[in-house]
C-alpha cells in the first residue's frame, strides 16, 4: 500500500509498526505542477510566467508538504526514465529577479496601494487547485504567503 508523506515520516517508524510491516521506498512516475494560463491577460507575457515560477519556492513546498520525499523536476517525463533531460535545470527560487522581471513586464505598484498593476489593472488572480489534492490547503497557504510578499 502507498503511504502519504506524513505517514511515511511520522507515523510508521515506531518499533511496533516496523515489527509487523516492511517499508520500501520507491518513486511513483507522477508529478504536480502549476500551470500559468497563457490565455489569461496576467500570464500572457513569458516574463510574468517566468517571474511567477521564480516566486514559487518549490523546495519549501517539497520539504513542508512532502517531507522531502520527492524531487523538483523540469517536465512531465519520469525522472528515472531515459526521456527525462537532466540538462534542463529548473528556474531558481529568486524573488529579487522575479521582481525585476515583473517590473520589466510593466507590473509595478503605480498607485502605492501595495499591489502591482499595469494600465490600471491590478495583478490579482485566483488559484484553482484540484479538489482531489490532499495538499490543497497547505499548498494554497504557502503560495498565498509567498506570492503576497
Q: How does the average pLDDT of the chain come out, rounded?
A: 88
Domain boundaries, the chain: 5-148
pLDDT in tens, 12-41: 888 888 888 888 877 777 778 889 999 999
Q: pTM here?
A: 0.81
In the block, cell 531558481 appears at 92
For the cut 80, the answer to whether the pLDDT of residue 3 exceeds it is no
For the cut 80, the answer to whether the pLDDT of residue 130 exceeds it is no
CA distance 67 to 142: 14
For 102, counting Cβ atoms within 10 Å of its Cβ (0-12 exposed, 13-18 middle, 19+ buried), the class is buried
Question: Cell triple for residue 26?
Answer: 520507491
CATH class, range 5-148: alpha beta
Amino acid at each position: 500500500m502507498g503511504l502519504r508523506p506524513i505517514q511515511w515520516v511520522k507515523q510508521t517508524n515506531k518499533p511496533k509498526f516496523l515489527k509487523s510491516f516492511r517499508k520500501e521506498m520507491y518513486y511513483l512516475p507522477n508529478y504536480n505542477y502549476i500551470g500559468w494560463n497563457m490565455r489569461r491577460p496576467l500570464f500572457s507575457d513569458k516574463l510574468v510566467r517566468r517571474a511567477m515560477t521564480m516566486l514559487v519556492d518549490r523546495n519549501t513546498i517539497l520539504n513542508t508538504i512532502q517531507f522531502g520525499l520527492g524531487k523538483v523536476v523540469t517536465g512531465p517525463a519520469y525522472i528515472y526514465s531515459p526521456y527525462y533531460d537532466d540538462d534542463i535545470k529548473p528556474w531558481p527560487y529568486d524573488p529579487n529577479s522575479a521582481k525585476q522581471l515583473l517590473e520589466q513586464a510593466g507590473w509595478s505598484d503605480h498607485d502605492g496601494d501595495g499591489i502591482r498593476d499595469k494600465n490600471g489593472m491590478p495583478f490579482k488572480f485566483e488559484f484553482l487547485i484540484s479538489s482531489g489534492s490532499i495538499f490543497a490547503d497547505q499548498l494554497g497557504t504557502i503560495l498565498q504567503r509567498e506570492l503576497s510578499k
